Each structure stands twice: as C-alpha cells, then as structure tokens.
Amino acid sequence: KGLVRAAAIVATVTATFTAAQAQDITLRGASQFDENHAFTKTMERFAELTNEYYDGEVAFDLRLNGELGMEADYVTFLQQGVAIDYTIMAPSNMATFAPSIPLMDMPFLFRDQAHWEAVLSSDVLKPLEEELLEKADIMIVGYTGGGVRNVISNKPISNLEELAGFKMRVMGAPIQAQIFSALTAAPSAISYSEVYNAIQTGVIDGFENEAASIQNLKFYEVAPYLTLTKHAITVRPIVVSGKSFRNMPEDLQAAVMKAGEEAGAFGRELESREDGEKLQEMVDAGQLTLQEFAERDQLLEMVVPVQDDYAAELGATELLTAIRAK
C-alpha cells in the first residue's frame, strides 16, 4: 500500500515538474538595434511563430539597443551558453570560432538578389552550418538579411582613385580586410560600437553598411556620403545556442526550427523591401548624399582571385563553386 502511495506521489511530482518546466521556459534574445530595425522585427516574428507551433508556453525576453552588448559579444555568449539563447548576427562576427563561416558573407559573393535568394532557400550552405555547430556549438535555424552594403564616408568617393587609401572600418573576419585591401582601400577591423566615434575623431573616414543599420544608428550624422558600391547583399543567420537548444523539449526544438526558417523568410522579404525605401528616406531628409561608383565592374574583377584563394585555403573551393553556380 505504502509503495503504491509513494508511486502516486512520484507521478504527481513528475507531472507538476513537467508542467512547471514547460511554463518556465524563457528564451532570451539580443539585438543591437531598436524596435524599428528589421533584425528586431524578425526576432519578434520568430518568437510569435515558435509559440504558434509549440504546444506550450515559451516566454521570449528580447533585449534591444545593445543592452547585452554587440554581435561580437553575442557570439561568445552563444558559444558558452550564457546570457542569451538566440540572436541574428553577421557570419563575419563568428570567424573566431569557425573560420569558414564568413565565406557566406563575403563581399561580391552574389550576382544579384535572385542569386542571393536562390542560395538562401537551398541547402548549399549546409557544410558551413555543420562547421559552426561542431566548432562553436551554435545552430543556424534560419536566414534573414537582404540589406545591400555600400561604402559610407565623411567625404565623397566615386571612383577607384578616390577609394585608394580610404581609411575604413571592416568587420573582424580577415576576408573582409583582404577584399577591401585588394580594392586598394586601407581597411582596419574596428568594433561596431566604436565606428561612430572613430569617424567623428578622424581615426577612419568611413566604413560599409546597409541602409537599415545606417538609419537605425544614425551613422549619416558623421558619414553623410554613400557610394553605391553594392558590394554585398547581407546574409544574417538566426542563431540559437546549442546548449540552449539541447535543454529544450523535443517538440519545442521542432517548433524553433520551423519558426526559424519562416521568420528568416519574413525577415528577408522585409529588409530587402525596406532597403531602398530607407535609403530614399535618408536622402529626402537631407541626411545622405548618394553617388554611383564609376568602376563597379572593375571591383568585381579585382576581388575574384581573393575569394578563390580564401576558399582554397579553407578547402572550400567546391562549396564556393556550388554557391556561384546557384
């Protein structure tokens, strides 16, 4: 009789524990931007969709405005499984842990938007996802992005002669500096949080970025000239810490994967659509002056050998060929 009673207590306790556990799941995310940025909206959509597909309640605690640091901090947090569970970030900010990841993010990788979309809606990037999971314990659950990166500066730049020696900030992955060095600029890797000040104090003359972020962080205040180099269409993975993912019940894991893929498609449509609109808003507000780059085709020719060498060094020549062939 005693044993039956003990088993009943254990059953009750287990059921209560499971219910409490399900209610208690909180996933914390981080954004460098405010509520108007496409990354923030995409992470909000990811939260909504996860709750839609999961037969339980998950609380999402998304911290904005760089409250938890910048992307370079987030990658360490995710890898260690501390502070945050999910975010959106540039592959070039994950280079320390997985050197091949910036390949999906390198300038001049995509011919046009159709090529970019074909790559992101295929599974051609799978080998890079596997490497990221293996080396950094970070999972890619979807792909957003879609902003076009251009050069933005404190003085007009409209041709190769003016680009020569241009002191510019690039993201931390070595391939970023290699590409811009090949274009004869003078790149240096500076933390994103330092860029505004570095331009203001004359340490650099500018950098390269997409409209959503230029507008959100008001970079036009210190760099009001934008040159349409159109050198990258952004690829921005929605990432989840492997440690957080393994702690989730299986049905939540499935919901997160499905939500990640769909939120990614939502974010790609949103940022691609808003990119031109945001540039125009900044022009109309007198914040930015746009100019064409006279020798854009030549830029492409100058960087292809650098891309090829980088892929060869990583043993990723086949992968680069497959991406180009999409």
The residue ranges that bind ligand X1X (CB under 6 A) are 71, 89-90, 93, 171, 192, 209-210, 213, 234, 236
Q: Token digits for 8?
A: 């009943």
Q: Closest Cα partner for 25 from 54, 66, 67?
A: 54
**Residue 192 and residue 209 in contact, taking contact as beta carbons nearer than 8 Å:** no
The rounded distance, in Å, linking the Cα atoms of 205 and 159 is 16
The rounded distance, in Å, linking the Cα atoms of 234 and 106 is 9
Quote the least distance from Cβ 73 to ligand X1X, whole Å.
12
CA 57 to chain centroid, in Å, comes to: 27
Quote the least distance from Cβ 209 to ligand X1X, whole Å.
5
C-alpha pair distances (Å), 88 with each of 23, 139, 250? 25, 11, 23
Quote the least distance from Cβ 216 to ligand X1X, whole Å.
8
Of 179 and 248, the one with the shorter C-beta distance to ligand X1X is: 179
Of 25 and 279, the one with the shorter C-beta distance to ligand X1X is: 279
Of 159 and 193, the one with the shorter C-beta distance to ligand X1X is: 193
Quote the least distance from Cβ 247 to ligand X1X, whole Å.
26
Q: Token digits for 285?
A: 């507000």
Q: Which residues contact 157 (CB under 8 A, 6 or more apart)?
A: 151, 163, 166, 206, 225, 227, 291, 293
Of 90 and 323, the one with the shorter C-beta distance to ligand X1X is: 90
Of 66 and 224, the one with the shorter C-beta distance to ligand X1X is: 66
Q: Closest Cα partner for 25 from 182, 245, 188, 236?
A: 245
Of 236 and 268, the one with the shorter C-beta distance to ligand X1X is: 236
Residue with tokens 């993201």: 171
Quote the least distance from Cβ 259 to ligand X1X, whole Å.
20
For the beta carbon of residue 55, count every other beta carbon within 10 angstroms. 10
Quote the least distance from Cβ 321 to ligand X1X, whole Å.
26
Of 207 and 266, the one with the shorter C-beta distance to ligand X1X is: 207
104-127 burial: b if 16+ Cβ within 10 Å, else e: bbbbbbbeeeebbbbbbeeebbee
Quote the least distance from Cβ 104 to ligand X1X, whole Å.
13
Q: Token digits for 63?
A: 């911290």
Quote the least distance from Cβ 192 to ligand X1X, whole Å.
4
**Residue 322 and residue 124 in contact, taking contact as beta carbons nearer than 8 Å:** yes
The rounded distance, in Å, linking the Cα atoms of 59 and 51 is 9
The rounded distance, in Å, linking the Cα atoms of 49 and 34 is 21
Of 58 and 148, the one with the shorter C-beta distance to ligand X1X is: 148
